[in-house]
Structure 1
Amino acid sequence: MKRERLAYVQIHPSDNVLVALRDLEKGFVVDFNGQQFPLVNNVAAKHKFTITELRRDASVFMYGVLVGKMNQDVGQGEVINTDNLRHASEDFTMGRRKLVWTRPDVSAFLGRTFDGFHRSNGTVGTANHWLVIPLVFCENRNVLTLKAALEEKLGYQVETKDYSDEVDALIARYKAGASTEELLAVDLSSAKASQRSQRLFPNVDGVKFLNHDMGCGGTRMDSDALCGLLAGYITHPNVAGATILSLGCQHAQASILRNEIARRDPHFDKPLYIFEQQLEGTEQELMQKAIKATFAGLTIANRQKRKPASLDKLCIGLECGGSDGFSGISANPALGYLSDMLVALGGSVILAEFPELCGVEQELSDRCIDEETAEKFMYLMKTYNAKAEADGSGFYMNPSPGNIRDGLITDAIKSAGAAKKGGTSPVVAVVDYPELANYPGLNLLCTPGNDVESTTAEVAAGANIVLFTTGLGTPTGNPIAPVVKLSTNTKTFEKMPDIIDLNCGSIIDGEETIPEAACRILEYVIRVASGEVQTKAVQLGQDDFIPWRRGVSL
């Protein structure tokens, strides 16, 4: 049953601002907690306005936490913006353990399964990919050469428009003498999408080519971290095997990669082929060996078939990007409820993006299972922010122009809403990049807020599906793990249906509750994990992969 859509909402009882759920005009009369007052300004949907008069330096609270301080006096019913509000957040210290939480009702999902690829180490993949990876950027061209040789012939080219028909149409009009104005007016809507060839290996979902710009020339810490990240992908349950191209003289040595693989999986038994160009000699020799090995490896990977697995084999990465003022009200808390559901079912959840946990450190550290885990979280937060400050950019500079335009005025406002993705269960582990974070329960993983860097890291940490909320819209995907995009508002979902999978704007519209949305999302996740549904990012071939240089990235 559709519920009445509200005009505004107070997120937490201690908040001293309200959030507009639709555009409100100047003079609109607010009726809140027995008092009535008119709005002093027009307030756009997603933005905030004051409940009472606030003096200069007064604290502003949202989600029950400090999110900023006033730069000037403002009256009751005035809009909050970057001119009158600055970032502020509470300090944090070692507190008492707060491990009691209310488990959600998961009776409808008890005994449910998904069809996945079972690996010898006990993990289960939601996909079955082969990887081709360079250990250093010097091998990027060779990786692209392999891609050109293999992808189309094996039936793995992206099933989407390549837009060559549109270019052909424009070329024809240009040769016929069309003017610039006529070219701009050409109707290209009838151009056809390219067709996908039949896959030679039906049980292999893809051959993925992961180019990057690292491996040498930077710090040893970065090259070592790269080897750890790549090891996370090679040992990932969604990966059947890999072909590695090495130049030979770079910092990121094959021996380091092998050690990192052994750390993550001591009994690693997937096919792994490593070729070093400086040993092989000619490019032709290198490429012919790599092609033969990859093809042979694919025949092994193709023997894998999907089999039922319990839901505790799911490891969900939580991500948000292109966030807006509704993110912390609709999609993020829906993922938080789903996170609690999955934890109650024995599964794993990864909450990352440490710059977007600024202001909620106390709550999260108090939820850590012991003081050692809490201490690690606080240390990582403090050292990360201190490094950012030393380089002239603290966490307070995280919000993007799009975030600010759509209501996320300070980093603390953005963070308080972003943290809702993690639900309410205890934090079982705090993990530094690029280590595994797939322990049953809620894991905190230190990554930047950068969407692609963080998603790349979450997958290396073990996430076999990523749930990604967005208010403004983003095409972000991942080469090996399905990325489910969830819109925080109906307008964006309807505007960008080619890149967004699910709509959580239904919560804002009064069409469903947060628990109802969470159950709907989990049903979709099961279908994606079983290979029954392809996410929009997979359909578009959105294989975003950016390793994190351990400098400042917010």
Structure 2
Amino acid sequence: MPAEKHTYIQIHPADNVLVALTNLSAGTPINFGGHTFTLHTPVEAKHKFTIAALEPEAPIHMYGVLVGKACEHIPQGTALTVNNIKHASDDFKLGSRKTNWVVPAAADAYRDKTFMGFHRADGSVGTANYWLVIPLVFCENRNINVLKEALSAKLGFAKPRGYESEVDNLVEMYRSGKTAADILQADLQLSPEAQTTKKLFENIDGIKFLNHDMGCGGTRTDSDSLCGLLAGYITHPNVAGATVLSLGCQHAQAGILQTEIQKRDPNFSKPLVMLEQQKIGTESKLLHEALKQTFAGLMEANQQQRQPAPLSKLCIGLECGGSDGFSGISANPALGYLSDILVGLGGNVILAEFPELCGVEQEMSDRCADEAEALKFMDLMRTYNARAEADGSGFYANPSPGNIRDGLITDAIKSAGAAKKGGTSPVTDVLDYPEKVTKPGLNLLCTPGSDVESTTAEVASGANVVLFTTGLGTPTGNPIAPVIKIATNTAVFNKMPDILDLNCGTIIEGEETIAQSATRMLDYVIEVASGLKQPKAVILGQDDFIPWKRGVSL
């Protein structure tokens, strides 16, 4: 049965604030806990208000954890703002293991289901089949772009947008004597997309070109991490093979990349083209060799075809960006329920964005399967936050202006809701960036909260699908893994249908339960993993790729 619709809710019995599900005006009667009081101030949807009056330094609890403290006297029924509360979170320490959990009953319906994927020699299964062209250092970005211009359109992988004809119209208006005011008032309609060239290699989803600004000039730690990240992409199940261009003198050496590849796949056998410009000589020789060897590799990669695979071969990255006050009560818990289903089936899920686990460290460390992993998680959290604070911007500074505007006014409030994506299963492994997932179950991966850096890292660690919740809307995608965008509220889903795939606002409106939303989402994941549907980020060619420099990025 659908959930009942309410205008405000208490998320956890220990919470001393309520969340408005619709805009509430001052004077609105609130019936809670057998008592009635009226709102002292208006409260916008997604924002929180006090159940009882709070004095300065009084703790504020949401999701059953400390998320802030009062800065001043806050009357009963008052909206929480950045002016009357401040970030606060509980300390954490090594506790006892709390790894008991129950696999959702809904998992039974998926035990015999499969998706159609690309089976790799290492036993992994891809949800897509891409060829990569990668620079080991930013000096090769121009050569990468030349290869992109030469290959993409001719092989049928370019994505024409249709905007060129709009520019033609603007040029014609200018030539005909139209003024700037005329142009600004013109109603330009996007022309139908030009006919795309038929793909030459039918079993290849595309060639992806991963430009970046790293590889030399920074710290050796950053260049080594870059090699690990790139190795994660080259060995990824969604990748059939790769072309790598190196200058030769940079920190990120080809030998380091080869070592990182061997760490992740000791029996690596995919076609791999490695070319060094300072050895080959002229740009022309380099590019001619790259074109020939890449084309030969594409011919080999095209032999791969989709075959049935169990859902245990899915590795789902859990991500959120442009979060709002509904994220933690609609889309994120739905992802958590889906995560528990997949873990119950033997699959993998990755929960990252460590700045957005601030305040829930005790719960997450207690859920670690053994003490060694719990200690590793706590150490990563403390070290990361200390680095941030040393630069004057601790985890407390994570919420963006958009987060704050839509109800996430402290990092702990944001984190408590973000952690819901990880469900309730035990943490089987804790990974530092850019380590690879090797154990089934829930994996914690140290990344920034920054959407693209975190998504880039999750995919490098093995995510072959990414589920991305958003309350404000974001076009974020990834070059090789389908990123499925899930709205936390119906308003943003209706406003931005060109970049959002699924809507969990139905939970807020009482039309659907969290479990129903999760299984609807999982059914969509299976279709995407099988190549039957394309998320909007894939259709738009939203190939966001940003390696993390291990300095401070929240």
Q: TM above 0.5, one fold?
A: yes
Moved more, 102-111 or 213-222: 102-111
Amino acid at match of 1:478: N
Aligned residue number for residue 239 of structure 2:
239
Q: Following the alignment from structure 1 to structure 2, what is the Cα–Cα distance between the partners of residues 510 and 429?
A: 36
For the pair 1:109 / 2:116, whether they are aligned, the reply is: no
For the pair 1:473 / 2:459, whether they are aligned, the reply is: no
Q: Following the alignment from structure 1 to structure 2, what is the Cα–Cα distance between the partners of residues 166 and 73?
A: 57
Q: Is the Cα contact below 8 Å between 1:356 and 1:415 reproduced in 2? A: yes
Aligned residue number for residue 139 of structure 1:
140
Amino acid at match of 1:205: D
TM-superposed deviation, 1:496: 0.3
Percent of aligned pairs sharing the same letter? 68
For the pair 1:464 / 2:469, whether they are aligned, the reply is: no
Aligned residue number for residue 263 of structure 1:
263
Aligned residue number for residue 436 of structure 2:
436
Q: Is the Cα contact below 8 Å between 1:334 and 1:514 reproduced in 2? A: yes
For the pair 1:120 / 2:121, whether they are aligned, the reply is: yes
2:312 match: secondary structure: helix
Q: Following the alignment from structure 1 to structure 2, what is the Cα–Cα distance between the partners of residues 340 and 195?
A: 43
Q: Is the Cα contact below 8 Å between 1:343 and 1:425 reproduced in 2? A: yes
| Unmatched segments (≥5 aa) in structure 2 | none
TM-superposed deviation, 1:33: 1.2
2:299 match: secondary structure: helix
Aligned residue number for residue 282 of structure 2:
282
Amino acid at match of 1:214: M
TM-superposed deviation, 1:5: 2.0
**Aligned ranges for residues 48-447 of structure 1 at < 5 Å?**
48-105=48-105, 106-159=107-160, 161-447=161-447
Q: Following the alignment from structure 1 to structure 2, what is the Cα–Cα distance between the partners of residues 438 and 481?
A: 18
Q: Is the Cα contact below 8 Å between 1:56 and 1:70 reproduced in 2? A: yes
Aligned residue number for residue 531 of structure 1:
531
- Deviations, residues 64-106 of structure 1 (Å, cap 9, x unaligned): 0000000000111000000000000000000000011121011
Q: Is the Cα contact below 8 Å between 1:15 and 1:64 reproduced in 2? A: yes
Q: Following the alignment from structure 1 to structure 2, what is the Cα–Cα distance between the partners of residues 19 and 209?
A: 44
Q: Is the Cα contact below 8 Å between 2:215 and 2:252 reproduced in 1? A: yes
Q: Is the Cα contact below 8 Å between 1:59 and 1:68 reproduced in 2? A: yes
Q: Following the alignment from structure 1 to structure 2, what is the Cα–Cα distance between the partners of residues 198 and 206?
A: 12
Amino acid at match of 1:27: G
Q: Following the alignment from structure 2 to structure 1, what is the Cα–Cα distance between the partners of residues 421 and 104?
A: 15
Aligned residue number for residue 44 of structure 1:
44
Q: Is the Cα contact below 8 Å between 1:137 and 1:211 reproduced in 2? A: yes
Amino acid at match of 2:270: K
TM-superposed deviation, 1:3: 4.7
Amino acid at match of 2:205: D
- Deviations, residues 212-259 of structure 1 (Å, cap 9, x unaligned): 000000000000000000000000000000000000000000000000
Q: Is the Cα contact below 8 Å between 1:131 and 1:239 reproduced in 2? A: yes
Amino acid at match of 1:479: P
2:89 match: secondary structure: coil
Q: Is the Cα contact below 8 Å between 1:487 and 1:500 reproduced in 2? A: yes
TM-superposed deviation, 1:503: 0.2
Aligned residue number for residue 495 of structure 1:
495
- Deviations, residues 250-306 of structure 1 (Å, cap 9, x unaligned): 000000000000000000000001111111111110000000011100000000000
Amino acid at match of 1:531: G
TM-superposed deviation, 1:192: 2.4
Q: Following the alignment from structure 2 to structure 1, what is the Cα–Cα distance between the partners of residues 190 and 10?
A: 48
Q: Is the Cα contact below 8 Å between 1:87 and 1:396 reproduced in 2? A: yes
Moved more, 30-39 or 409-418: 30-39
Q: Following the alignment from structure 2 to structure 1, what is the Cα–Cα distance between the partners of residues 80 and 296?
A: 61
Aligned residue number for residue 520 of structure 2:
520
Q: Once superposed, which parts of structure 1, at least 4 consecutive aligned residues long, lie more than 3 Å away? A: 1-4
Q: Is the Cα contact below 8 Å between 1:28 and 1:39 reproduced in 2? A: yes
Q: Following the alignment from structure 1 to structure 2, what is the Cα–Cα distance between the partners of residues 2 and 184?
A: 47
- TM-score between both structures, scaled by the size of structure 2: 0.99
1:396 match: secondary structure: helix
1:481 match: secondary structure: coil
Q: Is the Cα contact below 8 Å between 1:487 and 1:502 reproduced in 2? A: yes
Q: Is the Cα contact below 8 Å between 1:57 and 1:71 reproduced in 2? A: yes
TM-superposed deviation, 1:437: 2.0
Amino acid at match of 1:146: L
Q: Following the alignment from structure 1 to structure 2, what is the Cα–Cα distance between the partners of residues 193 and 351?
A: 38
Amino acid at match of 1:61: H
- Deviations, residues 448-492 of structure 1 (Å, cap 9, x unaligned): 000000000000000000000000000000000000000000000
How many residue pairs get aligned? The number is 553
Q: Following the alignment from structure 1 to structure 2, what is the Cα–Cα distance between the partners of residues 192 and 128?
A: 28
Moved more, 183-192 or 293-302: 183-192
Moved more, 161-170 or 13-22: 161-170
TM-superposed deviation, 1:194: 2.8
Amino acid at match of 1:490: T
Q: Is the Cα contact below 8 Å between 2:17 and 2:62 reproduced in 1? A: yes
TM-superposed deviation, 1:517: 0.4
Amino acid at match of 1:349: V
Q: Following the alignment from structure 1 to structure 2, what is the Cα–Cα distance between the partners of residues 5 and 379?
A: 42
Q: Is the Cα contact below 8 Å between 1:132 and 1:242 reproduced in 2? A: yes
Q: Is the Cα contact below 8 Å between 1:348 and 1:438 reproduced in 2? A: no
Amino acid at match of 1:130: W
Q: Is the Cα contact below 8 Å between 1:23 and 1:43 reproduced in 2? A: yes
TM-superposed deviation, 1:197: 1.2
Moved more, 310-319 or 102-111: 102-111
1:198 match: secondary structure: coil
Moved more, 205-214 or 161-170: 161-170
Aligned residue number for residue 543 of structure 1:
543
Q: Following the alignment from structure 2 to structure 1, what is the Cα–Cα distance between the partners of residues 495 and 165?
A: 25
RMSD over equivalenced CA pairs, Å: 0.8
Q: Following the alignment from structure 2 to structure 1, what is the Cα–Cα distance between the partners of residues 349 and 321?
A: 18
- Deviations, residues 370-410 of structure 1 (Å, cap 9, x unaligned): 11010000000000000000011100000000000000000
TM-superposed deviation, 1:195: 2.7
Q: Is the Cα contact below 8 Å between 2:486 and 2:501 reproduced in 1? A: yes
1:515 match: secondary structure: helix
Amino acid at match of 1:144: N
1:462 match: secondary structure: coil
- Deviations, residues 9-65 of structure 1 (Å, cap 9, x unaligned): 000000000000000111111111111111111110000000001111000000000
Q: Is the Cα contact below 8 Å between 2:162 and 2:190 reproduced in 1? A: no
Q: Is the Cα contact below 8 Å between 1:315 and 1:438 reproduced in 2? A: no
Q: Is the Cα contact below 8 Å between 2:3 and 2:507 reproduced in 1? A: no
1:165 match: secondary structure: helix
Q: Is the Cα contact below 8 Å between 2:489 and 2:508 reproduced in 1? A: yes
TM-superposed deviation, 1:162: 4.2
Q: Following the alignment from structure 1 to structure 2, what is the Cα–Cα distance between the partners of residues 438 and 57?
A: 44
1:114 match: secondary structure: strand
Moved more, 26-35 or 393-402: 26-35
TM-superposed deviation, 1:163: 1.0
1:537 match: secondary structure: helix
Q: Following the alignment from structure 1 to structure 2, what is the Cα–Cα distance between the partners of residues 346 and 204?
A: 28
Q: Is the Cα contact below 8 Å between 1:490 and 1:506 reproduced in 2? A: yes
